[in-house]
Amino acid sequence: MVVKTRFAPSPTGSLHIGGIRTALFSWLYARHNNGKFILRIEDTDKERSTDESKKIILDGMSWLKLDYDEGPHYQSQRTNRYKEVIKQLIETGNAYYCYCTKEEVDIMREEAIKKGEKPKYNGFWRDRSESPPSNIEPVIRFKNPLEGQVVLDDLVQGKVIFDNKELDDLIIARSDGSPTYNLTVVVDDMDMEISDVIRGDDHLNNTPRQINIMNALGVSLPNYAHMPMILGEDGKKISKRDGISNILQYRDEGYLSQALLNYIVRLGWSKGDQEIFSIDEMISQFDLKDVNKSASRINPKKLVWLNKHYLKRTDNKILSSMLNNLFNDMDVPTNIGPSLEDLIEIQKNRLDTLKDIAEQSIFFYKDFDRYDIKSAKKYLQPVVLEPLKTLYSEFKNIDNWNNKNIKKVIDKLTSEFDIKISKLAQPLRVAITGTTISPSIDDTTRLLGRKRTLERLNNAIKFIESHASS
């Protein structure tokens, strides 16, 4: 039997880290077993499903390079098929029309609670033969077995047993005829021949209901694997305070896709003490038996560590294309200034993300109109006026603008003025970058270029003179 897995998100909100872990594990399982991976968009919730959420799903999958062999399939385009199966269930006596109002069902549940029973619909219309009320549009309910058990041999959770008497007759079609989640999922998994359903354990309670529907339809059951939750740093349910909720925000914050995948694969899965996994290693080593039963916690510091690892090892040409996109989003022109590959070479070993590189490199491409106040107050003082003027003259006379000659001039002047290198390098850094933060001073000066360096040195000299006289 061919292994077929699926990722079936609902486009009703952001694609979050838990959803991507489901997609990744499903994708890895399919690739490990030379199977197929399917993308299915469960968009039957017309009120909450949005085109924006659909786009986030597709863009997120594309960015992470989680390619799919089939799809995307849209449930909204399969309504007729769902109605066929609903009709089949009615004709075989496995489903029925229910004319109870919402208020009546609420009363049933309240009465069950009073009796110490599980709150549920009591099957009032299950086997009734009298004429139904004419003023109520009925729902259609599945006839859940009244006795016996559903025994699930979950590939992660182990054996899980559900008593049928604890399950009510769930609605499979609303009063307007639209199918519900548990019905559409069953039909899709059946038609698409899904062999293994890998999803979060928040779906575990849906599984016995779906299995009973499949049994009623006489189809083979897939294997099930329910992933434990991902918790916040504090061990509680992930909330807004834990940071990024939309997976594409990681891209916009300058994280590399492989770093994020490496981070996510370790949220609930392990292989010894190994922390770094290439995509090929993930595929070759992934096995559901290595998925932890307990919940995992997010660890932003681990993601930063992984991203730095991949930044250092990714080709500068590839990174430059990503960086260019970030600069474009920031309205920073890159046609005048150093090449992005040269910039990345001096920045990627000292910063955490591409966004960090972009934000700390704007001065290479855009002139600034003010200095950082604290930096200017500390370093652009009259005491450095003469060293900076001399530096300007020496820089002006450099024929070959490179690190060696720049450093030679700086070393020469620190000796002549009998000052530490920091006493010249820091004022120079503030003069040409506006702050005290940049790569090494010779790298920074070289990449900035002689013309801009001299212009900004001159501006700093004028700044010091004007403030000294005021």
Are 43 and 10 in contact by the 8 Å Cβ rule? The answer is yes
Closest CA to 377 of 417, 420, 425, 427: 427
pLDDT at 250: 95
Compute the CA torsion angle 178, 101, 206, 65 (nearest 10 deg): 40
Tell me the one-letter amino acid at 100: C
* Residue 428 backbone phi and psi in degrees, to 5: -65, -45
CATH topology classification for 81-173: Glutamyl-tRNA Synthetase; domain 3 (3.90.800)
**What are the E-state strand segments in 99-166?**
139-142, 149-154, 158-163
pLDDT at 233: 86
Closest CA to 118 of 162, 180, 183: 162
Compute the CA torsion angle 325, 330, 333, 334 (nearest 10 deg): -40
Q: Classify residue 429 by its DSSP letter.
A: H
Residue corresponding to tokens 């009591």: 122
Sequential DSSP letters for 298-351: --HHHHHHHHHHHHHHS-HHHHHHHHHHHHHHTT---SSSS-HHHHHHHHTTT-
Instruction: Report the C-alpha gap between 309 and 300 in whole angstroms.
Output: 14
pLDDT at 390: 97
User: What is the token pair recorded at 29?
Assistant: 């399982």
Instruction: Report the C-alpha gap between 295 and 230 in whole angstroms.
Output: 6
pLDDT at 410: 96
* Residue 19 backbone phi and psi in degrees, to 5: -65, -45
User: What is the token pair recorded at 466?
Assistant: 């004007």
Instruction: Report the C-alpha gap between 133 and 130 in whole angstroms.
Output: 9
User: What is the token pair recorded at 166?
Assistant: 């604890």
Instruction: Report the C-alpha gap between 45 and 49 in whole angstroms.
Output: 6
CATH topology classification for 240-313: Glutamyl-tRNA Synthetase; domain 2 (1.10.1160)
Are 151 and 215 in contact by the 8 Å Cβ rule? The answer is no
Q: Is residue 72 within a helix (H) or strand (E), and if so which, with residue range?
A: strand 70-74
Cβ atoms within 10 A of the Cβ of 458, count?
Answer: 14
Per-residue model confidence as pLDDT tens for the chain (470 residues): 799 999 999 998 888 899 999 999 999 999 999 999 999 999 988 888 899 999 999 999 999 999 999 999 999 999 999 999 999 999 999 999 999 988 989 899 999 898 888 898 998 999 888 888 888 999 999 999 999 999 999 999 999 999 999 999 999 999 999 999 999 999 999 999 999 999 999 999 999 999 999 999 999 999 999 999 999 888 888 765 566 778 999 999 999 999 999 999 999 999 999 999 999 999 999 999 999 999 999 999 999 999 999 999 999 999 999 999 999 999 999 998 999 999 999 999 999 999 999 999 999 999 999 999 999 999 999 999 999 999 999 999 999 999 999 999 999 999 999 999 999 999 999 999 999 999 999 999 999 999 999 999 999 999 999 987 65
pLDDT at 243: 60
Are 8 and 40 in contact by the 8 Å Cβ rule? The answer is yes
Question: Which residues of the chain are in CATH 3.90.800.10 domains?
Answer: 81-173
Question: Which residues of the chain are in CATH 1.10.10.350 domains?
Answer: 319-469
Could you say which architecture CATH assigns to the domain 4-73+183-231? 3-Layer(aba) Sandwich (3.40)
User: What is the token pair recorded at 268?
Assistant: 């609930």
Q: What pLDDT digit, counting tens, does each position of 197-220 carry?
A: 999 999 999 999 999 999 999 999
pLDDT at 241: 59
Out of 2.170.120.40, 1.10.10.350, 3.30.160.270, 3.40.1190.20, the CATH code matching 319-469 is 1.10.10.350
Question: Which residues of the chain are in CATH 1.10.1160.10 domains?
Answer: 240-313
